[in-house]
């Protein structure tokens, strides 16, 4: 199979790995009530494992990305796949709440992080054209998790107890993820050595990693992604509760998430195509502005139809902009450090996501209303838009020979 064809295999593997990893972690909300009923652990305590998981994902993202730069994506995602399935199996046997929080939160969260940054970095290296579309397709695969793994978990827990169901999820993850990880290969430019690297006009090829992470470009990417994720985190987590407070029945309110998720799949594809045609930065900046007003629009809806309309717009936008950070990273930094750079942006995004649930709860407890959550999300979204406007790509430079650390990497 030619490289031009095999690059789409990498996209498929990345989407499948991401779907399974994210889906396994996000099966916890499905298991929440069964775990609480069976063990007597508090709902808050079990939910705390998810918060720990977000923090663990953020903390581990840059480390896994750096390891993929050193050893290639395949051994990293393979290690993450094995670690994820083993930790799910161990969590299903946990006998105390603290044990469950540590295993499911710390370990499952860290293992999930081993998939995103390494695979995004790998995919960006395989594509010189259609790069935005490629990373958007991988992201779309991850976005399929709530529509595939969550229903599977719900079906399993309806016929088994939660421990057996989680163990089965672990087995399914192992059966799918480990073989998929074996299809992952280094990008051809990374395998070919310094001769091809010289011809490929790598951006900022002489830059060291220390220079990269201190650069304004990297810092702006981090800040933009943090504020971007903080913008949509609160609305994602609290909109169902907000809809219920407006008098909408819970079953109908939950369907708002489905509308948001389906719209997000379309957003990833459309934004990927637009990113290739109009430029990743231009599309990202525009998307961030619309995202801010999409969050604010929730203030003005009370009926289910209105929630559906806003959720469709909001899901379309926030899901669409997320893959563009990886494209901007690849356009401005050398391939040899791409895992670390994308891992850094993922870390910032994870920390941004961790702010929404807590902030929304505090706002509701203080004001007995979610209105200020959405107004605050709008303000944060405007901040993300303004920060993104300050991003300036590095000047184009002539290609220089790859550094020894680059062509000395082992191929995966």
b/e per residue 209-245 (b: at least 16 CB within 10 A): beebbebebbebbbbbbbbbbbbbbbbbbbbbbbbee
What is the tally of structural domains in the chain?
Answer: 2
Extract the tokens encoding 241: 């509760």
Does residue 198 lie within any of the structural domains? no
Does residue 305 lie within any of the structural domains? yes
Look up the domain containing 373 and give its range.
209-389
- Where on the phi/psi map is residue 334: left (φ > 0), alpha (ψ -120 to 50), or beta? beta
Does residue 194 lie within any of the structural domains? no
Residues 74, 144, single domain; the answer is yes
Does residue 203 lie within any of the structural domains? no
Does residue 326 lie within any of the structural domains? yes
**What is the CATH number for 139?**
1.20.1250.20
Residues 34, 141, single domain; the answer is yes
Extract the tokens encoding 177: 């993820």
Residues 327, 264, single domain; the answer is yes
Q: What is the DSSP string of 62-121?
A: HHHHHHHHHH-HHHHHHHHHHHHHHHHHHHTT--SHHHHIIIIIIIIHHHHHHHHHHHHH
* pTM higher than the cut 0.75: yes
Tallying the residues shown for the chain, one arrives at 412
Residues 274, 307, single domain; the answer is yes
Residues 178, 221, single domain; the answer is no
pLDDT at position 149 is 84
Residue with tokens 């184009």, as numbered in its chain: 396
Residues 137, 249, single domain; the answer is no
Describe the crossing of helices 73-91 and 3-25 by its angle, rounded to 10 degrees.
Answer: 20
pLDDT at position 355 is 83
pLDDT at position 350 is 86
Residues 172, 220, single domain; the answer is no
Does residue 249 lie within any of the structural domains? yes
Residues 29, 152, single domain; the answer is yes
Residues 166, 229, single domain; the answer is no
pLDDT at position 216 is 95
Residues 339, 230, single domain; the answer is yes
Residues 168, 294, single domain; the answer is no
Which residue ranges of the chain lie beneath pLDDT 50? 193-195, 197-199, 399-412
Residues 117, 220, single domain; the answer is no
Instruction: Please report, for the chain, how many H helices and E strands are present, in that order.
Output: 20, 0
Does residue 192 lie within any of the structural domains? no
Does residue 400 lie within any of the structural domains? no
């Amino acid at each position: 199979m030619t490289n031009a064809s095999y690059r789409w295999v990498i996209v498929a593997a990345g989407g499948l790995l991401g779907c399974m990893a994210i889906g396994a972690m996000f099966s916890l909300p499905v298991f929440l009530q069964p775990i609480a009923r069976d063990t007597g652990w508090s709902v808050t305590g079990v939910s705390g494992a998810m918060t720990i998981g977000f923090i663990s994902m953020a903390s581990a993202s840059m480390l896994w990305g750096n390891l993929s730069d050193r050893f290639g994506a395949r051994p990293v995602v393979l290690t993450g796949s094995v670690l994820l399935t083993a930790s799910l199996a161990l969590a299903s046997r946990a006998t105390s709440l603290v044990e469950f929080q540590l295993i499911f939160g710390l370990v499952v969260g860290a293992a999930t992080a081993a998939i995103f940054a390494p695979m995004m970095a790998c995919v960006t290296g395989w594509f010189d054209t259609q790069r935005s579309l490629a990373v958007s397709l991988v992201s779309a695969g991850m976005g399929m998790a709530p529509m595939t793994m969550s229903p599977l978990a719900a079906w399993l827990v309806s016929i088994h107890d939660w421990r057996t169901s989680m163990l089965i999820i672990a087995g399914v993850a192992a059966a799918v993820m480990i073989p998929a990880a074996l299809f992952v290969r280094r990008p051809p430019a990374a395998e070919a050595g310094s001769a091809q690297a010289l011809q490929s006009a790598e951006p900022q090829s002489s830059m060291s990693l220390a220079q990269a992470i201190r650069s304004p470009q990297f810092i702006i990417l981090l800040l933009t992604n943090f504020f971007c994720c903080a913008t949509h985190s609160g609305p994602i987590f609290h909109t169902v509760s907000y809809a219920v407070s407006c008098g909408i029945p819970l079953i109908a309110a939950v369907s708002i998430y489905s509308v948001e998720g389906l719209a997000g799949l379309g957003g990833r594809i459309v934004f990927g195509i637009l990113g290739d045609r109009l430029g990743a930065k231009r599309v990202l900046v525009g998307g961030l502005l619309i995202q801010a007003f999409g969050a604010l629009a929730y203030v003005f809806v009370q009926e289910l139809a209105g929630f559906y309309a806003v959720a469709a717009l909001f899901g379309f936008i926030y899901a669409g902009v997320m893959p563009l950070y990886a494209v901007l990273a690849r356009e401005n930094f050398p391939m040899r450090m791409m895992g670390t750079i994308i891992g850094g942006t993922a870390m910032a995004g994870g920390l941004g996501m961790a702010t929404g649930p807590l902030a929304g709860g505090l706002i509701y407890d203080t004001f007995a209303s979610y209105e200020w959550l959405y107004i605050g999300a709008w303000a944060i979204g405007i901040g993300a838009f303004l920060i993104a406007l300050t991003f300036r790509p590095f000047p184009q430079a002539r290609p220089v020979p790859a550094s020894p650390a680059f062509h000395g990497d082992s191929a995966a």
